[in-house]
Structure 1
């Protein structure tokens, strides 16, 4: 690739075609192999928010953006947790209270409350408005006896991931010793503790996993279908220890038909739990899904998102004529899809109705997966590529975002059936230079005057750099 006398980009071979999509992106096509990639540079970059030094031990651990896209929260290895404005990068709050490194930070669905967890084995709930700590979830909190041998209590090792049930009255958290806990935030009581690793015969009640097999991720999904898939009989349910609280204070709100996925640290295993009731939780994992490589940790997992999970509403595509094919044949994938990524770079997808086999497997990247996100674009009209400015029809589709340890973030459209992604059409978000992605967020679209959804994204790297990509142009994925 070189710059011609007119200032334009020219490929250095005849088999490659270059096209300027927007002022921030270029499209490269390999005409022989029918490969296509669009490279998108960031619109905004912040690199001094945490003022991370060059010491190898100093790095960013976690990052999240609230539902309005106006506020971000980030946690670094020096125990700092900062709330800042995404428009200016100005710091609004510093959450001080953890006594050790903070590994995860998340906004509640309201966007006004933050939860953090880390090496001090505590979860803290913070007000984004005042900066005060409203609650701390730890052993013995809420007046429950956290020391009893059959009580779930609090975490006994570092908290590594958190997810919410509906609006966050109940949350789930995962620790490094291999325990998934269900909490009642209002009373600070741990309702249930589910062991991710099998219980050794004759071993202790609180069985912990080996340090090299630490779980790393979890996700929650609202099951919209009526029937539950048949349990996985490859491993007895009783081999997993499950502890339930005896406290009468704790309540479960909205856990009915909720599923939790936990990525384990060995053999590419992904465990699925039904959180609906005490009985379903005590049954242990309903399924143990395995990455085809079966040889690495599951480092990222996510459920596909449907409109009822807070994604794009169906009426956003109502202005597209039915004559142009406004039939969402791939929408079923949004109800049943589960994706996982491994430390070896492999990505796999399952249909939860038929979890015994993968829907597709992708091994195009060798660098480990750090984050997975899906997003459903509604059918809409959009301006064509280049300077032509013609309105073109784009069908509804599910996009798969994959963030990796080498700093790459790619977006690929899944096929209508939700099966094999069209790997020859990708959009790559540039900016990080071989710098591991520590946080990634997709912002819900705002509808423009021409009914074109404007989807934006944020990424954060290990060295404390933050990149914002405004109004992703997905037209190039359908050239």
Structure 2
């Protein structure tokens, strides 16, 4: 990247696109199993009154699947045990969507009435999550059985994730400490200190010898886990830094060179870019190895950036407090690819879920979008309770919610929509 990109990028703000939405009763799967069961459904479009309809069960098949019909222009294309495909066709309006109910609900991992702040899972069958009671727990993704209580943080834990090994946990929170834990023994094996305010998000570089954190103190830090030391601080000068993500760049993308030799403890940072989402409506990019700021984006962002995620090696999405999402291409960050709004609730998390991605929101909705940024699947279950995090283990999706429930969804049901609608 040329030197003249290492500054603030301003450009004409395009109007965001407000998507049309089908909205379905959160417990539709249970409601429609009842004799003559009913479920409400609605259609919302910008500038028009909401259209309300009803789905009605007309008995069960031999496999226990209900026969369902709709009213007021709502048609039912297909029903399975855990999903339903609905179309709304009136005049020139045509929208289709698949709604997916949880495969399992884990209600006993966390205490009823305690919000689940963050969540991660491994392909090896372990999950880690924290709640508003300050409890950080290890549990089995198969059945939700709690295996370990990780004790040591002094206050709320805002971020937790598993290292690629699947048996080591990284956490951070209001006590300004990062902690590294053995998931097998529950012991804290390292504590990293240096932030001056709450730690809100983390990213792991490669296998995890180095990690990134971001904080309310307006900084992001690069750490060496082995020596428990900070290798570098990225000064954001933007107040609170809410979120971070990293990606590897191709060779022609120049991230600069450090002014001084880096520590030999720094591993795997060459050619990687760090993006930071800030409370003051900006996204900042740094070369991790060079320690140099590449650019700021200060426009086409409508509110505080609450989450950011690379959805390809060159494209990332930032979610915002007012519900907007904006996609940028780092090869030309002075122009946004698209800006749109799926929900009135804040965007609370983003998950790269090839060939699309999933966003979770403050109104309890979770949207799967394919590469054209059109929602094709919605995860149901929460009744307007915020979904703070959505993660996957390659086979299942898991969500963390304010209602104290961890929900597990079958990813094959989500991705099958690609074949159904021909994407």
TM range (shorter): 0.7 to 0.9
| Correspondence 1:194-213 to 2 at 5 A | 194-197=234-237, 209=239
| Correspondence 1:187-336 to 2 at 5 A | 187-197=227-237, 209=239, 214-228=240-254, 251-266=265-280, 268-276=281-289, 280-281=290-291, 283=292, 285-290=293-298, 292=300, 294-304=301-311, 334-336=312-314
RMSD over equivalenced CA pairs, Å: 2.3
Shift of 1:194: 1.2
Aligned-partner Cα distance in 2 for 1:473–1:408? 15
**1:398-441 residue CA offsets vs partner (Å, 9 max, x unmatched):** 212111011111111113xxxxx234xx2000011111112210
2:343–2:363 Cα contact (<8 Å) kept: no
| Correspondence 1:84-99 to 2 at 5 A | 84-99=139-154
Shift of 1:464: 1.7
| Secondary structure of 1:355 counterpart | coil
In the alignment, structure 1 residue 159 sits paired with structure 2 residue 166: no
**1:121-145 residue CA offsets vs partner (Å, 9 max, x unmatched):** 111100011111111111xxxxxxx
**Structure 1 residues 5, 80: CA separation in 2 closer, same or farther (over 3 Å shift)?**
closer
Number of residue equivalences:
358
In the alignment, structure 1 residue 60 sits paired with structure 2 residue 116: yes
Shift of 1:224: 2.7
Shift of 1:216: 1.1
In the alignment, structure 1 residue 432 sits paired with structure 2 residue 385: no
Greater relative contact order (CA < 8 Å, ≥ 6 in sequence): 2
**1:187-226 residue CA offsets vs partner (Å, 9 max, x unmatched):** 111001111116xxxxxxxxxx3xxxx2211111111342
**Structure 1 residues 159, 81: CA separation in 2 closer, same or farther (over 3 Å shift)?**
same
Aligned-partner Cα distance in 1 for 2:57–2:213? 54
* Gap runs ≥5 in structure 2: 1-53, 61-66
Q: 2:356 aligns with which of 383, 388, 399?
A: 399
Aligned-partner Cα distance in 2 for 1:4–1:166? 50
| Secondary structure of 1:475 counterpart | helix
Shift of 1:67: 3.1
**1:354-405 residue CA offsets vs partner (Å, 9 max, x unmatched):** 11111111223221101112222xxxxxxxxxxxxxxxxxxxxx21211101
| Secondary structure of 1:472 counterpart | helix
Q: 1:122 aligns with which of 177, 198, 202?
A: 177
- Greater fraction strand: 2
**Structure 1 residues 473, 341: CA separation in 2 closer, same or farther (over 3 Å shift)?**
closer
2:220–2:241 Cα contact (<8 Å) kept: no
Q: Name the TM-score, length of structure 2 as normaliser.
A: 0.80
Q: Name the TM-score, length of structure 1 as normaliser.
A: 0.71
**1:273-331 residue CA offsets vs partner (Å, 9 max, x unmatched):** 1112xxx21x3x21112452x44110010012xxxxxxxxxxxxxxxxxxxxxxxxxxx
Aligned-partner Cα distance in 1 for 2:59–2:108? 36
Shift of 1:160: 0.7
**Structure 1 residues 29, 137: CA separation in 2 closer, same or farther (over 3 Å shift)?**
same
In the alignment, structure 1 residue 441 sits paired with structure 2 residue 386: no
1:72–1:83 Cα contact (<8 Å) kept: yes
Aligned-partner Cα distance in 2 for 1:81–1:245? 38
**1:149-192 residue CA offsets vs partner (Å, 9 max, x unmatched):** xxxxx111111111111011000001111110000110111001
Shift of 1:10: 1.3
Aligned twin of 2:405: 465
Aligned-partner Cα distance in 2 for 1:186–1:91? 28
**Structure 1 residues 5, 252: CA separation in 2 closer, same or farther (over 3 Å shift)?**
closer
- Off by >4 Å, runs of 4+ in structure 1: 242-246
Aligned twin of 1:107: 162
Aligned-partner Cα distance in 2 for 1:412–1:21? 21
Aligned-partner Cα distance in 1 for 2:57–2:104? 28
Shift of 1:245: 11
2:116–2:404 Cα contact (<8 Å) kept: yes
**Structure 1 residues 244, 43: CA separation in 2 closer, same or farther (over 3 Å shift)?**
farther
